[in-house]
Structure 1
Amino acid sequence: MATKGVQKSAFTSQTFEFLQDLVQHNNREWFQANRARYDAAKAELCGVVERVLTGMSAFEPLANTAVKDCIFRINRDIRFSKDKAPYKSHLAFAIGPGGRHSGRIDYYVQIQPGKQSFLGAGMWQPTPANLAKFRQEIDYNAGELKQIIEAEEFRTYFPEAHGESTKTAPKGYPADHPELDLLRRKELFFVHRFSDKDVLKAGFADEIVKGSRLLKPYCDFLNYLFFDEKEESITL
């Protein structure tokens, strides 16, 4: 899981300054002229990811996961987008067995100035088959999931539940179902946000590990539910 050379396992204000400037100058000419600043920001990102991988290896099977496999490219795919800005305004990585393309529910981290940095995980854009599995499990036994996501420590750390819900009860379920709120969920993705000050702290990588440990029971719940029979996978 090591990267080449010694990486600092923390972000500096220079990374935020680069991302803020990129928002104002999102074009290839400016980016190439400031390539050294991006390389420095990416080196900091690699250092943080390396520290996170080391910490999370205590509770996740990450032995063959390389830092480079976890980091998302800063280039945007603009082929089918009306927004032709070539670069993302954030840095991001995902932790799962083998990296960001694990094919399972993994842990996603986004670094962006203006209090937009966050750690999150959960059900996001599931296949119809996986959504059906989720609802079937809620109908049969919602207690296991509720025990995880309604625990005081979890709810305190992850107060935001993102994702779409249906306006009415899903087909096949009664409108007065006791777990209607969960059944209506089309996505259920939990987020913990970080201030810019939080991201710049020396222990930020360790905070990601702490939050990921809290997320693990929910990720395990979804991974068992969706992939135990090796059905089609989803990615975050």
Structure 2
Amino acid sequence: MKYFTKSFSAFFEDLANNNQKEWFHANKKRYEADVKKPFENFLSDLITAIQIEDPTLAVSPKDCVLRINRDLRFSTDKTPYNLHYSAVVSRAGRKDKSVPGLFLRFSPEEVGIMGGAYVLDKGQLHGLRMNLSKNPDSLQALIQEKNFKTKFGTILGEESKRMPTEFQGASEHNPMLLKKQFYFMSKREPDLITSDHLLTELMTYWHAARPLNEYLTSIIHN
């Protein structure tokens, strides 16, 4: 099924040249017809497809979609709108980004597909490191799984420059302990957005991400 037309990318291409509130408000009907509504329709079907295999996913599209408005509080770039449309499809939706799930970002340049744990507080990170120090092979087995490697490659994330004393020795033999984030990602060409196979393709990424996402969830949100 095709959810989007070329008008989706065209809206963001025009927004890039007119990133101001006056232009956006003048084109709000276009935004709602070409971006917001088809994206929510797509998310609804994606969530339904996932729920068949994971009934614990009790969210709606509105729980998952991120605002098109940029957070300007700490940015020197004061343009008000993002040039992409994004969603967090997880058990917590956008409310708690520490819950692993599937993060989607659609733009005229690419389709970004991400998973894992991007935002961890101090306690969550400590618990994950404790588990990794005791069971280093568990994570490695998931990373080396063929489907995961084909779709995502490996785990990414910022690393700590100074480790807690209890992990300093272990981190020399297990570099994953250095990480402060445990996420993974893949990028696809933007023509996937208008493809008839968009939903089917993204479900293959969900399947590839599921074992690692569930592993991280079991530790972070035990």
TM-score, length-scaled by structure 2: 0.90
The letter for the 1-side match of 2:12 is L
The letter for the 2-side match of 1:193 is K
Corresponding residue for 2:77? 83
1:106 is the counterpart of 2:106: no
Corresponding residue for 1:137? 131
The range that moved more, 62-71 or 194-203, is 62-71
1:27 is the counterpart of 2:20: yes
Give, in whole Å, the separation in 1 of the partners of 2:197 and 2:183: 25
1:125 offset after TM fit, Å? 2.7
Select 1:201's aligned residue among 180, 192, 195. 195
Give the paired residue count: 220
Give, in whole Å, the separation in 1 of the partners of 2:179 and 2:107: 28
Give, in whole Å, the separation in 1 of the partners of 2:154 and 2:5: 27
1:180 offset after TM fit, Å? 2.6
- SS of the equivalent of 2:7 reads helix
Give, in whole Å, the separation in 1 of the partners of 2:139 and 2:69: 37
Using the aligned pairs only, state the percent identity.
Answer: 25
- Which structure features the higher share of helix residues? 2
Alignment of 1:30-109 (within 5 A): 30-40=23-33, 41-62=35-56, 64-97=58-91, 99-101=93-95, 104-109=99-104
The letter for the 2-side match of 1:51 is D
State the Cα deviation string for residues 100-123 of structure 1 (Å, max 9, x = none): 2256222211111112x2111112
Corresponding residue for 2:212? 218
1:185 is the counterpart of 2:174: no
1:92 offset after TM fit, Å? 0.7
- SS of the equivalent of 2:165 reads coil
Unaligned stretches of 5+ in structure 1? 1-7, 229-236
Give, in whole Å, the separation in 2 of the partners of 1:173 and 1:136: 8
- SS of the equivalent of 2:155 reads strand
